[in-house]
Amino acid sequence: MSFKTQVEKVAQQMQQVGIEYDKLFDNFGIKLYEKLSMKKGSCEQVDIVHKELDEILDAFSLYFPSKSVIACQAKCSSCCSFPIHCPPQTIEHIAKHIETNYSKEEIKNLIVAFHKNIKERKAPYFRATCPFLGEDKCCKIYEQRPLVCRWFTSPDASLCERSIQSGETIPQQQTQHRIYQLANTALVLTSKNKENDNAQVEFIPAILQRLEEEKCEE
């Protein structure tokens, strides 16, 4: 067998492996969507997504360890100024957490903070510190935070700091970003199929609206 033929054979094998690798992502997205479609409750859907994400991320970490540098660590928090969107199920999930774990006075103060946050978000970059970021630079709803917060993986913290003023895009760890986007899409599609016009909503305004509606009903 000539060397050229050997190279061609290996190239074909690698191409086939690449196809099978991509199928892992496709199958994850399809199966997750099917599971979500069988559940009516928003909070239950979000819980399923978190569980499935933990399993697939552990598997990829074990068998496809990434060499990408991830600068993210506790209390760096620059990304907590970026505007984000999320599926409606996330809003309900976090709102339920707030109603269960926050006092009426704390919710009242949070609503005030939300209004302040929205006013501070000016064009063109709409940066403002998230009301859920505590004085210790840690997220107050870390375990319930939106998927877009979970998949953020900056290679350089200084890029995030600059982005607050410049709006520049932050490169992401590709595999993790891809998995989280599939999970987010599964939630979005499930929401659309339930005749929800808002496939994705602005995080802070949507939480504010949900809490104010609940307050009016009291």
pLDDT, residue 74, reads: 87
Domain count, the chain: 1
Q: What is the value of pTM for the model shown?
A: 0.90
- Residue indicated by tokens 């200084």: 158
Task: Name the strand (E) or helix (H) holding 55.
Answer: helix 42-63
Tell me the residue range of the domain where 152 lies: 3-217
Selection from 147, 168, 153 nearest residue 84 by Cα: 147
pLDDT, residue 21, reads: 97
The whole-number average pLDDT for the span 27-32 is 97
pLDDT, residue 192, reads: 82
Q: Find the DSSP H helices in 64-137.
A: 88-101, 104-120
What is the residue-averaged pLDDT of the chain?
A: 93
Burial of 12 (0-12, 13-18, 19+ CB in 10 A): exposed
The whole-number average pLDDT for the span 22-44 is 95
The whole-number average pLDDT for the span 81-91 is 95
176 has pLDDT over 70? yes
Which pLDDT tens digit goes with each residue over 128-166?
A: 999 999 999 999 999 999 999 999 999 999 999 999 999
pLDDT class for 217, splitting at 50, 70, 90? low
pLDDT, residue 196, reads: 59
pLDDT class for 54, splitting at 50, 70, 90? very high
